[in-house]
Homo-oligomer: A and B are copies of this chain.
């Protein structure tokens, strides 16, 4: 029996590896398919510049979605991220406009630290309202979504908040438009953020707790996990990711307005789900999330580069493509 079961175990291991891999690979397969379609639609599509453009501008959603992966894995939801971007970015620019620090380099560094702190605080607020206030996260973050957006509108008096100092602007610009060893900075940031997130989610105690809390609050509690703390920290991580996205967003246009980040929350959640994380919580797939964000951006890009679609129908076709991509994923996974 023991020999036998040893033999069994190895076959099994091989099989289940295949299983796991295929599910994780599915979003990447969908991505590959899209790239092929894109190349057929327009030869420019496959150019390095275009792909780099797409990857670069997917940065905001991708980074925010990495945070959302934590929140969703732990069984919650954050609808406020879009408005949080607007709010945090507005405060950052206002701080830089305030001119309290004369030296531009120092000012920029201080502004970045401030941004990270504010982002985390916003996340903390979301976390506390949901956990301590025991309000369904959908509603809690819908509420803070209104609050952050409202405060932004109020700060900007409905208009735009623009970075005034051109010195700061040119100092800060490379943070979005620059590149390191040929790799655009935003892509680099995506990779770093995702790698860290993957490490936290898969290789640390906290990450394991996130998964446990997301699959069963009760089991987590009976295993001595401080459920509310884990959930709150996930919200803080989300806030941090928003702050990082803001650090990239501000140098791009150097301004924010009341429309900044509108509907980004839906995009982030979509990226997470397309990437293979279940909305019910439990299992997070960080790399899948990045892939999901990239897929979303690609779909838009392909639409624009193709010549045969009426501009009125773009939304409809985008919707269909997302559904089809999910169906492709499903059928891939089912065959496994």
Contact = CB atoms under 8 A, between A and B. Distances in A.
B312 A150 contact: yes
Interface in A301-336: 310, 312-320, 322-323, 326-327, 330
Interface residues of A, number: 45
Interface of A: 79, 129, 133-136, 138-140, 142-151, 153-154, 157-158, 266, 269-270, 273-274, 278-279, 310, 312-320, 322-323, 326-327, 330
Contacts of A330: 133-135
16 contacts: A79-B266, A133-B326, A133-B327, A135-B327, A135-B330, A136-B279, A139-B323, A142-B322, A143-B320, A143-B322, A144-B319, A147-B319, A148-B316, A150-B314, A150-B315, A158-B312
Given A136-B279, A150-B312, 17 more contacts: A135-B326, A138-B269, A140-B323, A140-B326, A142-B319, A144-B323, A147-B315, A147-B316, A147-B319, A149-B315, A149-B316, A150-B314, A150-B316, A150-B317, A153-B316, A154-B313, A157-B312
Nearest to A322: B143
Q: Which of A142, A270, A319 has the most CB of B within 10 A?
A: A319
